[in-house]
Amino acid sequence: MERSGRRLRTRVPGGDARRERHVVAALLVVGLMTSACTASTQHGSSHDPSLAHAAATTGSYRLAFGLNGDIYLANQDGSNPVRIAHRRGPCGDYWGEGPMWSPDGRYLAYRGSVGHGDSCHETVNISDAEGRHIATFPGTGWRIPWSPDSTRVATWAKLGRTIAIYGLDGVRQALLTVPPTKKLPNGLPRLRGDHDPAWLADGTSLLLPSRLEIPLDGSAPRLLPSPHPGSSFAYSSDSEHVAYWDRSKGSLIVAAADGSQARVLFSPGFPVYGIAWSPSGDRIAFDTGVWTTYPSVANELYVVDVASGTTLPVAKGRFGSPSVRGFSPAGDRILYSSTNAHGVTSLWSVDVNGSDRRQVVAGTDWGEWQPVGATG
């Protein structure tokens, strides 16, 4: 769905594939995001140093999440939350719509907005692992893609037209132009729907849906050869492999990072949405639809063993639920969001074998555990 002002923005996180989910899922997300946008934040007073004392958290890693227009850091189980960004003023709040931690776990990126009344404009905000604010700069879109080396982020400067690259200091390093539809490479369909740029594994280019590569050096965009990930994909933590949904095959594919050695891992019969690798690269978690009683469809969260292709369902729910958010640094648990019968979405965790399901944070669908190798 296209945007018509931030408060009316109803994009279902996860790219174009999310648009294929049942309308019930979209309505649930609309309601949750609307409730999170009813209050505002005025930049300049929103990053109160007294809020940023996340050292109060304990444990080997932290949870970052957005709730009701604020951003929090907490223990990995959701306990002892510390608010690091607080909504204030007549315009704006803070939110996350995808991974927030940098790959090295040292920084957080989350969205916000500033302004007054109808002049609200969106921002990207960077904090360190303790929650201390580092930089704010303009940027629109949904997810905030981190570069593989954790030194830069990409964001739409003008939605669908230009992509800005910023350093951790908030200084813009590049402005990349997306070619208009009539100038796209032959064989590339028109870019549609809600999508964000993603980094290729070597950090020298960005990728848009349907395999359009945008080099950072300003050279001409090009169509990557197939097989190669399109819009729903994730790299392993060592950046040597990629898992992606192949629409033409109806399958979850795993391949080398350059797209070679591609093989089918699982063919669910429904699009694969969220994709997350375990830290060691031996498992992949994903969510997809399943038939219940025709024509009813539910959603299930699966874990697949990369070597053998053995697939295990670990959580289930109504359409639009559950949705994978990632593995714990130890690789033994999975964080996901799930919506109950009352339309309330919360964060949950479950063991990789499907046991020991626990609620982590009530009332939000976006959060992320600090990555493996992070300093904490």
Instruction: Report whether pLDDT(221) > 90.
Output: no
Instruction: Report whether pLDDT(108) > 90.
Output: yes
- Three-state SS for 169-199 is CCCEEEEEECCCHHHCCCCCCCCCCCCCCEE
Please check whether residue 1 lies inside any domain of the structure: no
Of 330 and 182, the structure prediction assigns the larger pLDDT to 330
Lowest mean pLDDT, pick from 30-39, 71-80, 275-284: 30-39
Instruction: Out of 27-36, 79-88, 193-202, 351-360, give the one with best mean pLDDT.
Output: 351-360
pLDDT of residue 295: 52
Please check whether residue 286 lies inside any domain of the structure: yes
Position 117 confidence tier, pLDDT thresholds 50, 70, 90: low
pLDDT of residue 89: 63
Return phi, psi of residue 128, to 5°.
-85, 180
Please check whether residue 375 lies inside any domain of the structure: no
Among candidate residues 96, 59, 63, the one with its CA nearest the CA of residue 327: 63
pLDDT of residue 97: 85
Average pLDDT over residues 10-33: 33
Percent of the chain whose predicted confidence (pLDDT) is above 90: 47
Please check whether residue 324 lies inside any domain of the structure: yes
For residues 187-224, one letter each, b for 16 or more C-beta atoms within 10 angstroms of the residue's C-beta and e for the rest, the string is ebeebeebbbbbbbbeeebbbbbbbbbbebeeeebeeb
Q: Which residue has the tokens 């795993």?
A: 254
Q: In the chain, helix, strand, coil percent, each to 5?
A: 10, 40, 50
Note the pTM of the prediction, 2 decimals: 0.81
Of 375 and 216, the structure prediction assigns the larger pLDDT to 216
Position 20 confidence tier, pLDDT thresholds 50, 70, 90: very low
pLDDT of residue 4: 27
Instruction: Report whether pLDDT(331) > 90.
Output: yes
pLDDT tens-place string over residues 313-330: 999 876 567 889 999 999
In DSSP notation, 89-106 reads SSS--EE-SS--B-TTSS
Position 183 confidence tier, pLDDT thresholds 50, 70, 90: low
Position 21 confidence tier, pLDDT thresholds 50, 70, 90: very low
Q: Is 248 exposed, middle or buried (0-12, 13-18, 19+ CB in 10 A)?
A: exposed
Of 99 and 226, the structure prediction assigns the larger pLDDT to 99
Strand order, beta sheet including 70-75 = 82-85, 70-75, 62-67, 367-369
pLDDT of residue 320: 63
Parent domain of 111:
6-369
Distance CA 6, CA 41 (A): 13
pLDDT tens-place string over residues 238-286: 889 999 988 888 899 999 988 889 999 998 878 888 899 999 999 999 9
Distance CA 325, CA 287 (A): 10
pLDDT of residue 110: 96
Of 259 and 215, the structure prediction assigns the larger pLDDT to 215
Please check whether residue 374 lies inside any domain of the structure: no
Average pLDDT over residues 152-177: 95
Mean pLDDT of all residues belonging to the chain: 79
Instruction: Please tell me the total count of domains within the chain.
Output: 1
Please check whether residue 58 lies inside any domain of the structure: yes
Tell me the one-letter amino acid at 67: L
CATH number at residue 240: 2.120.10.30
Quote the DSSP letter at residue 54. G
Please check whether residue 73 lies inside any domain of the structure: yes
Instruction: Report whether pLDDT(6) > 70.
Output: no
